[in-house]
Structure 1
């Protein structure tokens, strides 16, 4: 394994991949100026290994054979065998070099890739929530409610962007309003505590909805997050409507906390599938009101812009941006890059 921290370029063509628990997405970047060439989305359950998927979907169907790979994975990167959090695939970079013919493999965290994406996110791929302040070239935060709650920081220093991965989705969240105190006793907990991920994720939508129903003395009518959000957006079920209102409020609170931690004058970016699906709810007053309600820093919070990332392949875009100009990013390669 190379123990390098240098930002020397990986050799083109480069395979870039975003490997989630359910889906994997791949593209090939021919050179620093080309647009990525995408391949069909892969369901991880359809292939026994990631090597199998890369061989069949990419290598067998392309005349271009990539010399290197940059993979973003949902899981901690530790050692030569890297387990994914929510699927059975194991990433073995040494095996990819010997079996698939790569010269160079770099593995990063999936939310580092999301952070790389927001360093240079064009206006057309973001939806503004609240005041339309232009983001400064300053620290940023990415939050992604989806299967879980991903959080990453992006620090700007020395004319470079430094992604900061972490586990911010597991911070504690507590009740604040009178309604919160009615609902929180009914929320499902992990070992006695309500973490942000337990209410700001797909299962979190269900958790809030069931707690609202319990507080109102009703039997839940829905058990699927998609049904709850659909009825909430459509206004056809009052508990589902309140669930989305509370989800926006709680997301605003946590996003505001992260903005304070990072002093994110460059903005807070909401990634992940849920954010895109509930933009109308996030554009209501609750999200920004909760985001800004941080006395004694309410005035400061009002100046920090918030966005929903609408790019369909944001993580791949972030990886491609890094592959083109690695010197613009302070991305640690130590322990995460393997070379032939």
Structure 2
């Protein structure tokens, strides 16, 4: 296994790129350094027992192109020869994949490293600004996104390279602030008696939040899925569903502000994830921005930071494609994450 940085070498084309989350997997093939990625329909991870079968059926059986390398982003920590995904039963075994899919090289990154790579060069058409603040060129950035879980990654600039900083920031503690919060918190589902951000700011988190509101108010829940809660909020026919979405956006703003302080993200805070695409019509920019900036004694710091909603639906694939084309522009250590046949 190689121990060098990906910036030390180039990949052989065509390159398979993949963004594998807890619920969905998205794949594309990059034919050369100048071509746009050839995308394939989104795959539901539950529809295939293994990642190899998904790639074979959804990608390789649909094209005559044979990838020579793969750059994959997965939702979970990368440790060892068998990479388990946090919210998906797939196990990524790169050496087995190279044999079964006839690949010469595989690099596996964290899924939010891919999101961080995307925000290194996200066009104006792929993002929407919330509130004030101006991004500083070359300054640190942070990206977070609620989906099946809550992903977090940083992006820092050093030695003329962008360096993504992966982690498990979605599992930080989330605490109450207002009187309504304090009434609600005892009713939230916990993990070993703690409320982590992911247990509120994710698909299951929105359900958790809604059901806790119902228990707080002594009402029987009528929605059991995030999509139903969002639909009820859009229809404005369920007050608690609407409050759940409002609180979701408020708490997302709070966590985004915390992460902005941690990374001193003067280059911008980017909010993506599958849920945000559905919540865009319901997101109150003023409510979000107030929660984001409410960080005494550093409100002035947050007021100067720009926040963007990622509207590009395939941002992670775009980030992986940018990296695959020009790995020398990114400081990504591949020790333990790169396999060569």
Contact 1:51 1:96 in 2 (8 A): yes
Task: Specify the SS of the correspondent of 2:70.
Answer: strand
How does 1:101-250 map onto structure 2 within 5 Å? 101-131=102-132, 133-250=134-251
How does 1:245-256 map onto structure 2 within 5 Å? 245-256=246-257
- Whole-angstrom distance in 2 between the partners of 1:59 and 1:230: 36
Q: CA deviation at 1:282?
A: 2.5
Structure 1 residue 35 corresponds to structure 2 residue 26: no
With over 3 angstroms needed to count, the CA separation of the structure-2 counterparts of 1:38 and 1:6, relative to structure 1, is closer
Structure 1 residue 330 corresponds to structure 2 residue 300: no
* Residue in structure 1 matched with residue 319 of structure 2 by the alignment: 318
* Residue in structure 2 matched with residue 272 of structure 1 by the alignment: 273
Segments of structure 2 that go 5 or more residues without pairing to the other structure are: none
With over 3 angstroms needed to count, the CA separation of the structure-2 counterparts of 1:45 and 1:187, relative to structure 1, is closer
Q: CA deviation at 1:132?
A: 6.2
- Whole-angstrom distance in 1 between the partners of 2:248 and 2:45: 29
Out of 204-213 and 193-202, give the one that drifted further.
204-213
- Whole-angstrom distance in 2 between the partners of 1:139 and 1:105: 28
* Residue in structure 1 matched with residue 5 of structure 2 by the alignment: 5
Task: Specify the SS of the correspondent of 1:194.
Answer: coil
| Moved >6 Å (runs of 4+) | none
With over 3 angstroms needed to count, the CA separation of the structure-2 counterparts of 1:183 and 1:6, relative to structure 1, is closer
Segments of structure 1 that go 5 or more residues without pairing to the other structure are: none
Contact 1:129 1:283 in 2 (8 A): no
With over 3 angstroms needed to count, the CA separation of the structure-2 counterparts of 1:263 and 1:55, relative to structure 1, is same
With over 3 angstroms needed to count, the CA separation of the structure-2 counterparts of 1:67 and 1:220, relative to structure 1, is same
- Whole-angstrom distance in 2 between the partners of 1:222 and 1:318: 35
Count of residue correspondences: 340
Structure 1 residue 286 corresponds to structure 2 residue 287: yes
Task: Specify the SS of the correspondent of 1:137.
Answer: coil
Q: CA deviation at 1:134?
A: 4.2
TM-score by length of 2: 0.95
With over 3 angstroms needed to count, the CA separation of the structure-2 counterparts of 1:6 and 1:310, relative to structure 1, is closer
TM-score by length of 1: 0.96
With over 3 angstroms needed to count, the CA separation of the structure-2 counterparts of 1:98 and 1:277, relative to structure 1, is same
Q: CA deviation at 1:138?
A: 1.1
Contact 2:133 2:305 in 1 (8 A): no
Q: CA deviation at 1:236?
A: 1.7
With over 3 angstroms needed to count, the CA separation of the structure-2 counterparts of 1:57 and 1:212, relative to structure 1, is closer
Out of 130-139 and 90-99, give the one that drifted further.
130-139
Contact 1:276 1:308 in 2 (8 A): no
Contact 1:18 1:24 in 2 (8 A): yes
